[in-house]
Structure 1
Amino acid sequence: MKINGNEIRPGNVIQHQDSLWVAVKTDAVKPGKGPAYAQVELKNLLDGRKLNERFRASETVERVRLEQKDHTFLYEEGDMLVFMDTESYEQVSIPQDLVGERRAFLQDGMAVVVESHEGRPIGVQLPEQVTLEITETEPTVKGQTASSSYKPAILENGLRVMVPPHISTPQKIVVNTETMEYVKRAD
């Protein structure tokens, strides 16, 4: 499907320079002189290279539709992650680098969406939020208010996030998997 260069949004997958790229960041730029354009940071889905590109509104790019199927995370095997298709029960191995640093959020039995292009897995969508337990954090200091700055906490998966001062161990918190930030205390 063809779209104008200024319609590219973060998360869109496009065909560019004979490869598949995902838009990481987009900025609409309106210079004082000359036509407006979109400054797009792209990441290659096949080899991980990054590229900054300008797309004018008059240019068209090919937006790629990815096949999305529900899978369950099973286990880690070397540098591969093994998932099972929830419909066919077929197992698929995906390199860890396709998930990146967000693989720390993967938990046994977690429901994810595996994205494929022409039958080849190229990405994994994790749930938007995950509940994790805090294993280590600084003690609460009496007299600190809720409006004071956040303090560091280490989660059960080894990830470090900033949490409000009233949060302590061994509480469970909800973390956003995209931004890797504290959302709220789990119920």
Structure 2
Amino acid sequence: MPKINGNEIRIGNVLEHNGGLWSAVKVDHVKPGKGGAFAQVEMRNLRNGSKLNERFRSADKVEKVRLEQKDQQFLYENDGMLVFMDMETYDQIELPAELLGDRRPFLQDGMTVQIEYHEAEALHATLPQKVTCKIVETEPVVKGQTAANSFKPAVLDNGLKVMVPPFVGQDELIIVDTISMEYTERA
């Protein structure tokens, strides 16, 4: 693994530090009036989600880790474990549902998910940014309210609640952003 200087750490870098794998969430480069410059780095542990604030001087060496990214297809869920299939080798793997966190309801059968591996260990799963969902419950469409910049609550087929424009009705397909968990457009 390549070693980088403490002042070369950027947001999104994965580092091996204190025996764990950490993702840089926030990086502030500080040049105090007295003493040498340093980088104040907020990191999140990729295995257990804990956070850590660490100070790295430019002379400090840190191991930068490269994660292997693979596209895998979601097959089914079995006792809290999600079963994915590698689309090249057709190998199946089981991962805990907690890997997706609060984005778990967006996972649909047959969906292609990008999973990041460190050696043989799956650390992170990324859903597609936009997912099509069906509205199962919302207030009826009111004529003449189409241009207003207001929103109304709607319940999706996966059980999540999102705010939608007043012109969107029940049983319509909409596209939801999985990162912000908000309505983007009609499907």
**What interval of TM-score do these two structures reach, taking the shorter chain for normalisation?**
0.7 to 0.9
Cα distance change of structure 1 residues 150 and 69 upon mapping to structure 2, 3 Å threshold? same
Cα distance change of structure 1 residues 131 and 58 upon mapping to structure 2, 3 Å threshold? farther
Contact 2:74/2:113, CA 8 A, preserved across alignment? yes
Cα distance change of structure 1 residues 60 and 142 upon mapping to structure 2, 3 Å threshold? farther
Matched with 2:22 is: 21
Establish whether residue 126 from structure 1 lines up as the match of residue 127 from structure 2.
yes
Contact 1:138/1:151, CA 8 A, preserved across alignment? yes
Letter in 1 for 2:64: R
Q: CA deviation at 1:43?
A: 2.1
Matched with 2:164 is: 163
Q: CA deviation at 1:94?
A: 0.6
Q: CA deviation at 1:10?
A: 4.2
Gaps of 5+ in 2: none
Please give the residue correspondences for 1:131-170 in structure 2 after superposition, counting only pairs within 5 Å: 131-144=132-145, 146-170=147-171
Matches of 1:164 and 1:57, distance apart in 2? 50
Letter in 1 for 2:92: Q
Matches of 2:58 and 2:139, distance apart in 1? 51
TM-score calculated relative to the size of structure 2 = 0.83
- Residues matched between the structures, number: 185
Q: CA deviation at 1:7?
A: 4.8
Identity %: 56
Letter in 1 for 2:83: V
Contact 1:146/1:164, CA 8 A, preserved across alignment? no
Contact 2:38/2:55, CA 8 A, preserved across alignment? yes
TM-score calculated relative to the size of structure 1 = 0.83
Establish whether residue 91 from structure 1 lines up as the match of residue 92 from structure 2.
yes
Q: CA deviation at 1:66?
A: 0.7
Matched with 2:111 is: 110
Contact 2:11/2:27, CA 8 A, preserved across alignment? no
Contact 1:81/1:95, CA 8 A, preserved across alignment? yes
Gaps of 5+ in 1: none
Larger radius of gyration: 2
Contact 1:28/1:36, CA 8 A, preserved across alignment? no
